[in-house]
Structure 1
Amino acid sequence: MNPPDTESPKKAAQPLSDGVKEALAVSLRGCDELIPQEDWVRKLQRSEATGAPLRIKLGLDPTAPDIHIGHTVVLNKMRQLQDLGHTVVFLIGDFTSLIGDPSGRNTTRPPLTAEQIKINAETYYKQASLVLDPSKTEIRYNSEWSDPLGARGMIQLASRYTVARMMERNDFHDRFKGGQSISVHEFLYPLMQGYDSVALKSDLELGGTDQKFNLLVGRHLQQEYGQEPQCVLTMPLLEGLDGVDKMSKSKNNYIGISEDPNTMFAKVLSISDVLMWRWYTLLSFKSEAEIAALKAEVEGGRNPKDAKVALAKEITARFHSAAAADAAEQDFINRSKGGVPDEIPEVSLSGAPLGIAQLLKQAGLAASTSEGNRLIDGGGVRVDSSVVSDKGLKLEAGIYVVQVGKRKFARVTLA
């Protein structure tokens, strides 16, 4: 359930210019909803006529010290709109993080401490700048206007929204019916997020589909404060490496944007051929025409791995460099052929002769000797390119290249 949107004036019956058509197509690419589309068209037309850029808002609470590529779906959309000449406002929710976002939760979300927020916020914008153009980005913190509100201002803000409307929100509604507690402070979160739009005079706010209610609250509050209401653009939540659940660190199906190039490249190649095309739509900066042409080639018989390699290189290059992406591709080829990467960890051990399972544990290639034995049983351990089949193998003093699976290597000096 979401708050009903107010009716918009009727759309002006005038043909769209090529520039507005392009901007609308960019806005709609991969999006879940654009509310209301006719208002957004009018804003685009006015911007084109006056030369005044529109204000595009994205708010992120620094709830973790870093972000994964699932978070960049909305950042990509921001960059696309930024490239059309509009103003991007990257809002760090240092105040709203103190409340805790209840979106999609079936329990109260613990608020962060001010110290945690400060630490996390320091890395957020730096990472977001790998997608956004920093020279064209306005960075703001919502404590700028939320702290000065004080108790009196908070009461006045709360008077502009009803409890009945608040209880239409899915997670609040479900928790209430299920007899689960809802703290009063949680009602403040969508109000404060909505007030951000008032303070920033936002023309468009972006968010994931789980943020729809909060974004519409912002639209309502702008009307309450006599402003032209913002439009709302929601982007789907990106499925993780498993292709089932949304990308999440807790589910270990994510790619962190600060991960090393080789790991990032290999993880992209691990996704399914079906998921690849969805990632192309939501993560790639290739045009829709380019993606359609590539998909037609694959359907015509071209190896889908070629398309996946191109996607892996594009994503890796974005967060590292083109040279790093090329090197990651070569590293993956070497691993696939059973070759040894150019750079592998150097480990020095003592105690020769040393049992292979114990060596795997001490070299950090297995969590325990029992896991090492399981890896050997599965044929996943190589020493100097030869598969180890004997769990009783003991290595004498010397230098060995030890491999576990396709990705773990170590050059072990055993004394």
Structure 2
Amino acid sequence: MIQEAMNEIKRGVAEIIDVERIEKLLKDYFENGKNYYVKAGFDPTAPDLHFGHTVLLQKMAVLQKCGAIVQFLIGDFTGMIGDPTGKNETRKKLDKETVLKNAESYKEQVFKVLDPTKTEVMFNSLWLEELGASGIIELTTTFNVARMLEREDFEKRYKSQAPISISEFLYPLLQGYDSVAMKCDIEMGGTDQKFNLLMGRQLQRTYNVGKEQAVVMMPLLEGLDGVNKMSKSLGNYIGVTDEPSDMFGKVLSISDDLMWRYYELLSALSLEAIATCKDDVATGKVHPKVAKENLALELVTRYHNVDLANAAKEEFNNVHKKNELPTDIKEFSCDGPIWIAKALVDCKISPSTSQSRRDIKQGAVKINQEKVSDEQLQLEQGEYILQVGKRKFAKLKVI
């Protein structure tokens, strides 16, 4: 049973530090019913989670089935500093009101994946505010600047003479101190968090917690472009709160190769079942689109329900196979005339007028299902169905 649990825990994992400790925790649970604590921290810098975040959440859900109490840590204190991981410039600080609002949104979303009866939602302001100035000064003595500059993103910025604030040096120390305060047995994070995760192990040792957390690192899920990690800022994400039709369509838009990565990291199917599906596609027994539809149905069902998933599939087929319009299109109105590029932005189906112009050049923009080629087109009084690509639609009434 322990080996079976370890196999499921290791599925899709990029790296584990201290496997022996995890095996001992599992042994204590299966033989003695003793629970253990798994920490994962989320800085509420945006109100919504995307599928990249759920890679971590789903692994936490697996651990819950194997005796873990998940400590879902919302970094309301550290979120006001901003995690510098992977950043080439100092991040803007968030005000407390925004952080707390985003935190509430997180809490609503995580229980679509995690078992609420085996989850403790925690806020690190509870102990970090109590730490006070003297405690933070003491914390800074546990690590030196030379070691801090070994961190890749800091090293790059230092060499390029880009500014690094002292608060950013504090971030990994404060994240590590979270592990001291929470006395967790395992900490989870993405591969880009390795420096911070190891800091937790070191500080547990420094502060004589009596344990050193094991570390489980998950790979970063590629976004819809198949190149960059999933990110809202890059626009290549699938949001947990996306509408069923949007979620379904986005999954269908990924490449056939990327589909298997999504199956491994997002699907609840066993690795054996996924391997069988992959073989069926490779031999022509199953069309890749059918395999992708099955994945999309599974994911939309998880975050919505089966009826909405089936309705999303039907609408997708109507729009893309029969060239019909979606049944639910958001409506907008404006005074005219209006430039087409601005109209697409105002109707929230394009992020900028420059992107609108690029989409028009590439033939991705339609009005009333007819392609638009004129970048300077002015829309006069009337009603229009605007479309960008295969999934973005809006009704515009020009007054």
Instruction: Give the structure-2-normalised TM-score.
Output: 0.86
2:114 is the counterpart of 1:132: yes
Q: Rate the CA distance shift 1:312–1:157 in 2: closer, same or farther, 3 A.
A: same
Secondary structure of the 2:90 match is coil
RMSD after superposition: 3.4
Residue 231 to residue 363, structure 1, CA distance change in 2 (3 Å): closer
Q: Choose from 246, 264, 281 the match for 2:264.
A: 281
Cα distance, 1:355–1:223 mapped onto 2, change above 3 Å: closer
What is the aligned partner in structure 2 of residue 122 from structure 1? 104
SS, match of residue 190 in structure 1: helix
The 3 A distance-change label for structure 1 pair 248 and 349 is: closer
Distance (Å, rounded) in 2 between the aligned partners of 1:404 and 1:174: 38
User: What's the CA shift for 1:379?
Assistant: 8.7
**Where does residue 239 of structure 1 map in the other structure?**
222
The change in CA–CA distance for 1:164 and 1:49 in structure 2 (over 3 A counts) is farther
The one-letter code of the counterpart of 2:297 is K
When structure 1 is superposed on structure 2, of 394-403 and 239-248 the one drifting more is: 394-403
Aligned to 1:342: 327
- Give the superposition deviation at 1:184: 2.1
Distance apart, 1:348 and its partner CA? 7.7
Alpha-carbon deviations, 1:14-43, whole Å to 9, x = none?
xxxxx2112211221111100022222222
Judged with a 3 Å threshold, the aligned counterparts in structure 2 of structure 1 residues 343 and 194 are, in CA distance, closer, same or farther, namely same
In the other structure, the counterpart of 1:72 is 54
Deviations 1:341-362 (A, max 9, x none): 33334578999xx99979x879
Gap change, CA 1:390 and 1:100, over 3 Å in 2: closer
Q: Deviations over 1:66-117 (max 9, x none)?
A: 1211111111111111122311110000111122212122222232221221
User: How far is the alpha carbon of 1:394 from its aligned partner?
Assistant: 12
Task: State the shift of 1:376 in Å.
Answer: 11
Flag the 1:363–1:334 CA change in 2: closer, same or farther, 3 A: farther
CA contact (8 A) 2:34 2:67 kept: no
Deviation string, structure 1 residues 250-281 (Cα, Å, up to 9, x no partner): 21111121111111100110000000000111
- Which residue identity does 2:302 align to in structure 1? R
Contact 1:382 1:404 in 2 (8 A): no
1:190·1:214 contact (CA, 8 Å) conserved in 2? Answer: yes
Does residue 213 of structure 2 align to residue 230 of structure 1? yes
Give, in whole Å, the separation in 1 of the partners of 2:280 and 2:130.
58
SS at match of 2:51: coil
Q: Equivalent residue for 1:266? A: 249
How far apart are the structure 2 equivalents of 1:176 and 1:327? Answer: 52
Distance 2:67 2:235 in 1: 37
Distance in 2, matches of 1:268 and 1:37, equals: 34
Residues 205-214 or 77-86, more deviating: 77-86
Q: Is the 8 A contact 1:89 1:139 kept in 2?
A: yes
> What is the alpha-carbon distance in structure 2 between the residues aligned to residue 198 and residue 212 of structure 1?
17
Closer/same/farther in 2, CA of residues 300 and 162 from structure 1, 3 Å limit: same
Amino acid at match of 1:172: F
CA distances 1:163-185 after superposition (whole Å, capped 9, x unpaired) = 33323222222322333332222
Aligned to 1:294: 277
2:35 aligns with one of 27, 34, 53: 53
Task: Tell me, yes or no, if the aligned pair for 1:377 and 1:389 is still in contact at 8 Å.
Answer: no
Q: 1:309 aligns with which of 282, 285, 293?
A: 293
Q: Give the C-alpha shift of residue 413 in structure 1.
A: 8.1
Q: Which residue of 2 aligns with 1:7?
A: none
1:221 alignment counterpart: 203
**Residue aligned with 2:229, SS:** coil
Q: Is 1:324–2:308 an aligned residue pair?
A: yes
In structure 2, the partner of 1:3 is none
CA 1:405–1:144 in 2, change beyond 3 Å: closer, same or farther?
closer
Distance 1:363 1:93, change over 3 A: closer
Q: Is residue 365–residue 386 contact of structure 2 (8 Å, CA) maintained in 1?
A: no
The separation in 2 between residues aligned to 1:321 and 1:260, in whole angstroms, is 12
Cα distance in 2 between the residues matched to 1:278 and 1:130? 21
Which has the larger displacement, 78-87 or 54-63?
A: 78-87
Structure with greater Cα Rg:
1
- Change over 3 Å in CA distance of 1:333–1:172 after alignment to 2: same
Query: How has the CA–CA distance of structure 1 residues 258 and 156 changed in structure 2, closer, same or farther, with 3 Å as cutoff?
Result: same
- With over 3 angstroms needed to count, the CA separation of the structure-2 counterparts of 1:183 and 1:333, relative to structure 1, is same
Q: 1:70 aligns to what SS in structure 2?
A: helix
Secondary structure at the counterpart of residue 38 of structure 2: strand
- Please point out which of 138, 162, 175 is paired with 1:156: 138
Q: List alignment gaps of at least 5 residues for structure 2.
A: none
Q: Distance in 2 between matches of 1:86 and 1:388?
A: 54
Shift of 1:50: 2.3
Normalising by structure 1, we get a TM-score of 0.83
Aligned to 1:35: 17
Whether the aligned pair in 2 keeps the contact of 1:205 and 1:230 (CA below 8 Å) is yes
Preserved contact between residue 376 and residue 388 of structure 1 (Cα < 8 Å): no
Is 1:210 matched with 2:192? yes
Structure 1 residue 404: deviation in Å? 6.2
In the other structure, the counterpart of 1:99 is 81
Instruction: Give the Å deviation of 1:160.
Output: 2.5
